[in-house]
Structure 1
Amino acid sequence: MHRFPFGEPLLTLRQNPLADAGVFVLGVYASAVHARWLNPDGSTRVTALAVASEPYIFWRGEGQDEIIGSIDIPAEAGRLVPPGPGMNGPSGVALDELYLEPLGLSRQNAWLCDLLPQSRMNPGQAQAVRARYNPVAQALDLPAATIPPVPHRFATETRVEEILEEFISSGADTLITLGDVPLKEFVAPLRLCDKTSIANFGIQSGQYGQRHRFSLRGRSFYLLPLVHPRQAARLGAHNPILADAHERWMVTPE
């Protein structure tokens, strides 16, 4: 079993079944709970270290204090405290406020899914583990951090088929994709549409955020391609042109 720094297991996140799913939202990969790691003297060792799987898909960040406080860390290694604002749950908050609410929906009628239903270690986290965690882990005999790195491809052929079955069983009539990756790794392999990026659909008014009909197993569905939450919520490095397009869509969503 893969583990985070200090030993929390890597979890696979799935949507709890819904009785009335109107839309099926497909993201890229699951996030993690981040903590600020302090040295024994109170100085910061790592500003935001991924230490656990998020408790549910598209987590909003609530309960972070309890999650972080439950992680066992010896006094010699320092302590974990909540990180700065916005480090936990920003994509979940963005999903609710910038995607579902403009459509008049809530999580009660949105089936959520990721291409990869597990967290992965991005390059920044990998560097923090190598430089900051591993020396302490070796000195104090702490669990090895074994979360796999972010892959080049998120969905295998088998995973595409799993998501397809999940989409069909959800009962949703609209597939919302978040960013280019779900278009390239789910929509394109199934030939649901010939476009593989948000730019292909267009980002001008009247182009971005339109629904596109497709057929599957004798049924008619709609594809609603939207930008990744990083773009819509302007999180870190983002494209302001895409963010502006999504902001315009929120006013009069299709």
Structure 2
Amino acid sequence: MTVGTFPFGAPVRDLAMGTPLREVSTIVVGAYPSAVHVEWTPPQGMGRRVAALPVDNEPYPFWDGSGMDHFVERWRGEWFRPEWGTVRPSRLNGSSGRVLHARWLARLRVEPDDYFVTDCLPTSMKSTGVATAVEKVSAPLAGRHRLPPVVMQEHPSENAIVTAAVDHHERLRRQVEASGASIVVTLGNAAARVVAALSGQPDGALDDATYEKPRSAIIGARTLTWHALVHPAVRAPWVERHDQWVVGQRQGATA
């Protein structure tokens, strides 16, 4: 289902995942999908280079950037015109997906093919930086070269994600039950609060003092061990706190 338009015209799609096709040990819950990004250099005199502009739906949740040249070339052939400048794959593609297993799931001894990833919300959003690029660079160019209008939801606040995700609780519950998982991993505060609401708990916010302690969540007919972790794109000081958790998990595995 199409719900908007990326810069240069590709449709923003509802990427709500179905239920897992096989049982896994772990279900991973993020906030909302990212996108395929390009580095865009506008025509001379039309503005500065944009390092990461979302232009298409990501191939799968927490895409690790694999095949980005292929995806960007396929997108370019269908949606991009030479008079709009030049584009190439952004180096930021897949930055969160590349570290998801190594620094998050592997530390819980989850195998690479033994988890299912979903999101609280099903569509890519427009960050503040993207909104600025659209306003200062894309919009002036649009008047001269007939760029399609950009129709994307603004990056939501944490509270907005939690509120909106209430409408998707049934989907998330079905995914958890179909996965057969005994572990749920949430990435970021918004996802943690959504899982807390889904399991009837008053508050799921991350807590520095208890970050290393597993929780428990009852979702549908399943009781799961719950690891509420920061998002892979997290910034300081939570980077350092997650590093402490990684070290602790490594020491526990070798003890």
TM-score between both structures, scaled by the size of structure 1: 0.84
Match of 1:21, SS state, is coil
Give a deviation string over 1:32-53, Cα, whole Å, max 9, x none.
Answer: 1111111345995312211111
Q: How many residues align?
A: 242
Match of 2:71 in 1: 67
Greater fraction of residues in helix? 2
Work out whether 1:3 is the aligned partner of 2:5.
yes
Alpha carbons 2:25, 2:115 under 8 Å: kept: yes
Match of 2:224, SS state, is strand
After the TM superposition, which residues 136-175 of structure 1 pair with which residues of structure 2 at under 5 Å, given as runs? 136-152=141-157, 153-154=160-161, 155-175=164-184
Give a deviation string over 1:148-206, Cα, whole Å, max 9, x none.
Answer: 11123123322122211211111111111112111222313532x45422216614xxx
Counterpart amino acid of residue 55 in structure 2 = V
- RMSD (Å), alpha carbons: 2.5
Alpha carbons 1:73, 1:79 under 8 Å: kept: no
Give a deviation string over 1:197-219, Cα, whole Å, max 9, x none.
Answer: 2216614xxxx1x3323444554
Give a deviation string over 1:35-84, Cα, whole Å, max 9, x none.
Answer: 1111345995312211111111110001212222232322221111122x
Match of 2:242 in 1: 243
Work out whether 1:199 is the aligned partner of 2:207.
yes
Match of 1:27 in 2: 30
d(CA) in 2 for partners of 1:127, 1:68: 22
Which of 218, 223, 236 matches 1:220?
Answer: 223
d(CA) in 1 for partners of 2:113, 2:239: 31
Q: 1:147 to 1:107 in 2, by over 3 A?
A: farther
Alpha carbons 2:37, 2:54 under 8 Å: kept: yes
1:139 Cα deviation after fit? 1.4
1:112 Cα deviation after fit? 0.6
d(CA) in 1 for partners of 2:34, 2:165: 19
d(CA) in 2 for partners of 1:68, 1:28: 24
Alpha carbons 1:18, 1:108 under 8 Å: kept: no
After the TM superposition, which residues 104-119 of structure 1 pair with which residues of structure 2 at under 5 Å, given as runs? 104-119=109-124
Alpha carbons 1:198, 1:226 under 8 Å: kept: yes
1:253 Cα deviation after fit? 6.0
d(CA) in 1 for partners of 2:7, 2:233: 25
1:135 Cα deviation after fit? 1.4
Identity of aligned residues (%): 29
Counterpart amino acid of residue 14 in structure 2 = T
Give a deviation string over 1:63-110, Cα, whole Å, max 9, x none.
Answer: 212222232322221111122x3x010111111211222233234210
d(CA) in 1 for partners of 2:208, 2:198: 17
Match of 2:171, SS state, is helix
Alpha carbons 1:15, 1:112 under 8 Å: kept: no
Q: 1:240 to 1:200 in 2, by over 3 A?
A: closer
Which of 103, 108, 122 matches 1:98?
Answer: 103
TM-score between both structures, scaled by the size of structure 2: 0.84
Alpha carbons 2:195, 2:204 under 8 Å: kept: no
Segments of structure 1 that go 5 or more residues without pairing to the other structure are: none
Match of 1:165, SS state, is helix
1:18 Cα deviation after fit? 3.6
Q: 1:25 to 1:240 in 2, by over 3 A?
A: closer
